[in-house]
Amino acid sequence: MNIPNFLTATRVVMSIAVAVLLCFDCRGISTLAFVLFVLAGITDWFDGYIARKCNVVTTIGKFMDALCDKIMVIGLFLVLLGLDMFGENLRILAIFCAFFASAREFFVSGIRMLAATKSIVIAAETIGKYKAALQMYAIGAVIYNKMMIVDFNLDGFFLTQLGFYSGIVALVVSTALSIISGVGYGVRYSYLLKG
């Protein structure tokens, strides 16, 4: 296993650790979860950078990277929803955002698998990268909110509120991009369904 693939696999382990840590309300645990989440996000950029820089881009690496991203985003969305970390007022919005984001990922993955059976490689699009970055920010912002409240007793503090609500805005925008991106994939690759 090369270094980029090791970093990719480590991202899944860190995501699971974040999910477990978020289940506890002991002081300091949320900060650890937030730091681990940030480190996991950094590996998402760093593994691709190293793979390109050292010319060790592999098919399995691309597959693992995409799969780990999905596990991280969808898995943590489920944890945040299960722990009611969006709050009562935003719960329904968060549920629908997570639903559309997950549906898009499964739909695009299905198209990619279908394309692969016909030896067609579908590269990631720019809109998808923006969508993923906004999703990561949204998840991080919600974890940051818990950290500020539980670990630092700063509920209602300006920076706590700013972080949380900027995350909600990022979540809504990322969901819009998910829908646009999913529809775009469906239109462009609809011919794959005809064969």
What is the per-residue pLDDT across 49-86, written as a single tens digit (0 to 9) for each? 898 889 888 878 888 888 899 999 999 999 999 999 99
Residue 116: predicted pLDDT: 84
* pLDDT (tens digit per residue) in 129-144: 999 999 999 999 999 9
What pTM was estimated for this model as a whole?
Answer: 0.94
Q: How far apart are CA 2 and CA 11, in angstroms?
A: 15
Residue 195: predicted pLDDT: 60
One-letter-per-residue 3-state SS of the chain: CCHHHHHHHHHHHHHHHHHHHCCCCCCCHHHHHHHHHHHHHHHHHHHHHHHHHCCCCCHHHHHHHHHHHHHHHHHHHHHHHHCCCCCHHHHHHHHHHHHHHHHHHHHHHHHHHHHHCCCCCCCCCHHHHHHHHHHHHHHHHHHHHHHHHHHCCCCCCHHHHHHHHHHHHHHHHHHHHHHHHHHHHHHHCHHHHCC
CATH class of 3-193: mainly alpha
- Residues of the chain short of pLDDT 70, as ranges, are 195
* Nearest in space to 2 (alpha carbons), one of 55, 67, 68, 63: 55
Residue 121: predicted pLDDT: 76
**Domain assignments of the chain as residue spans, ordered by start:** 3-193
